[in-house]
Structure 1
């Protein structure tokens, strides 16, 4: 690859028979064995990547959680329990990024066809339904990008490539310019009952800022978990360069996380959040509710985030109707997590950050 990375593609593990024609027990066992086969094939490619002398990018055509879209919740949970699997490991820790390319049947219907496609037989309505289920299976992954059909196909592909390059920390200049950016909104509480939300995943999230050698560099640790299973991430946010802010994110083991906590910056509170992830109108949203202990400025604070390339009016139509939004706060330093976590009052501290917009 021209980026200096080696690259390998892990193929899709395709079923050779119609699962819906099998009796219940046989269908369950077939899906279970199919998933085991997929995981083993992926592991083979992951080990190949580990042995490369250069940085290596492994692209999986499908992922483990896709299987959950085609069986009932009860059967999926039974399958995970029987094999010692859990969603945090299969979804969050196994893959660094998830990209869902929305079917042409949703937003580009004129280009949807089953002709000359050996693996596609469903009509438009069923294709939309299955596509939503496949996307919903990944709700909760910390780096989940939904690439819709709001642009033509060439730009859709550029948006997908740009998303990968951003995650890799590669500067593509204006070659893949898509105008997609993080948008942040202030939400008025209390939230409505859970029944008003689409399918969602809830997480406990803990952030700690670390001491850095550069006054304009930010480093933080994130612990993110569900039902006692955790993932750990280290993020370095570098100063603005050529109009861009570079973030480098690294997955950590539990041991590395504990060791790095020794570098905790005591001028910041530890941030505790409840994070709810959900899909709505082909947009992936994260809803963060700040928890105590925290600075009084964070008490009751609820923020909604999404990434979007949509124009203002288009995005407004996609925002969750069941939330009361008090306004957009994108780029407002008063809603930067770095500033929110400061122990000292903003009027007296010298650490208040005006330059690194966003979190």
Structure 2
């Protein structure tokens, strides 16, 4: 039974890989060998269609509304079905509700009901996507964690406890990707405006603060992209669309330009916790699996916080000149079945992953933990996705960076796990 389960997932990999090969003659091309193709965390609908859920969030005047419309048009042109989920808070705000006029307890109850309403709206769209005949993209105008940005931390913890919620469930398991569109108030001040928005009244300082707390609410999601104002608005929107394409494993020849790739840095020593901006820590376990093909790498991951876990199954295979990587969310039961297929020639890898935002850039700091092979002792690697090259990328000034190790095979987890 276990062998059949593994082969089912191997055949899924082959189906996706053959899909990419077929598309080479159409409008897609492979990302070059230095940029992996990720087919990640997608769900399959009842008709074997892809279902992908992305949250568009951000501060005031960040380009979210325009970005949603452009993202919708882009994927519809590729024959995807696109559902645009409305911003639930707007229903209340446009209906005359003013949060500032509510008592603290009334605001708490409204926020709780807003989140429950959002859950129901999302679940209705998710159910529609599940039976869609086409590949389906769901664009959520904000997500559940946005609500936490407007509550005191103690009230947010109280709300989760009263309703049986947890952050891993609300943040990590529900959506495939989070995109934060940075407010024009942070880096593009001349373009910040409240004109044409009946529910927007924020000045620059307030907008910056809202942008900051909204961004912090999503820190910890495994696939979180921050789109800043380092370029003009047109390029900003294109970068946003490109991140979705990149995460889905498709890149379009001449319709978008994106040079973003993962960069990795060796960290010499760990700074005190007080020096980090707001962060989320996760326990991460990786196990490599025996593979039916020497050209295929396979692993499972268990990632958790406060006793709540997400599970991922990843396969990598060289296809033509590119490394294709497929990531799928799986259940705990499936994880335990695949766990029995561990590769006896490789160690499990244990890490603490610290996720944080610094200078509008999303970073992962992987701190390798015991029990690990000797070569991992004291190892710390900082990772981020960026289009910036060389010294153009500002690195956290509170960390002592030894050197860049992007592309060095001795720092790949696959090689670090090998038994001697």
The runs of at least 4 consecutive aligned structure 1 residues that moved more than 6 Å come to none
Deviations 1:125-172 (A, max 9, x none): 211110011010000000000011111122211211111112222242
Farther off after superposition, 266-275 or 165-174 = 165-174
Deviations 1:250-282 (A, max 9, x none): 111111111122222111110000010000000
Shift of 1:240: 5.2
> For residues 59-138 of structure 1, what are the structure 2 equivalents within 5 Å?
59-138=139-218
Shift of 1:176: 2.2
Paired positions, count: 340
2:297 to 218, 234, 257: 218
User: 1:249 maps to what in 2?
Assistant: 327
Shift of 1:5: 2.9
* CA distance in 2 between partners of 1:104 and 1:198 (Å): 22
Establish whether residue 47 from structure 1 lines up as the match of residue 101 from structure 2. Answer: no
> For residues 311-330 of structure 1, what are the structure 2 equivalents within 5 Å?
311-315=389-393, 318-330=394-406
When residues 246 and 171 of structure 1 are mapped into structure 2, their CA distance, relative to the original with a 3 A threshold, is farther
Establish whether residue 233 from structure 1 lines up as the match of residue 309 from structure 2. Answer: no
Shift of 1:314: 2.7
Asked if structure 1 preserves the Cα contact closer than 8 Å seen for 2:287 and 2:347, the reply is yes
Farther off after superposition, 153-162 or 60-69 = 153-162
1:282 to 338, 360, 364: 360
Shift of 1:224: 0.2
CA RMSD, 1 decimal: 1.4
Higher relative contact order (CA 8 A, sep 6+): 2
User: 1:264 maps to what in 2?
Assistant: 342
> For residues 184-203 of structure 1, what are the structure 2 equivalents within 5 Å?
184-189=264-269, 191-203=270-282
Shift of 1:234: 1.1
Helix, strand or coil at the partner of 2:213: helix
Deviations 1:272-327 (A, max 9, x none): 00010000000000000111111111011000001111243331xx3111110000
Q: Report the TM-score when normalising by structure 1.
A: 0.91
Shift of 1:4: 4.4
**Structure 2: stretches of 5+ with no match in the other structure:** 1-75
* CA distance in 2 between partners of 1:65 and 1:207 (Å): 27
Shift of 1:108: 1.4
Q: Report the TM-score when normalising by structure 2.
A: 0.78
**Structure 1: stretches of 5+ with no match in the other structure:** 345-359
Helix, strand or coil at the partner of 1:215: coil
* CA distance in 2 between partners of 1:239 and 1:150 (Å): 34
* CA distance in 1 between partners of 2:353 and 2:153 (Å): 22
When residues 156 and 214 of structure 1 are mapped into structure 2, their CA distance, relative to the original with a 3 A threshold, is farther
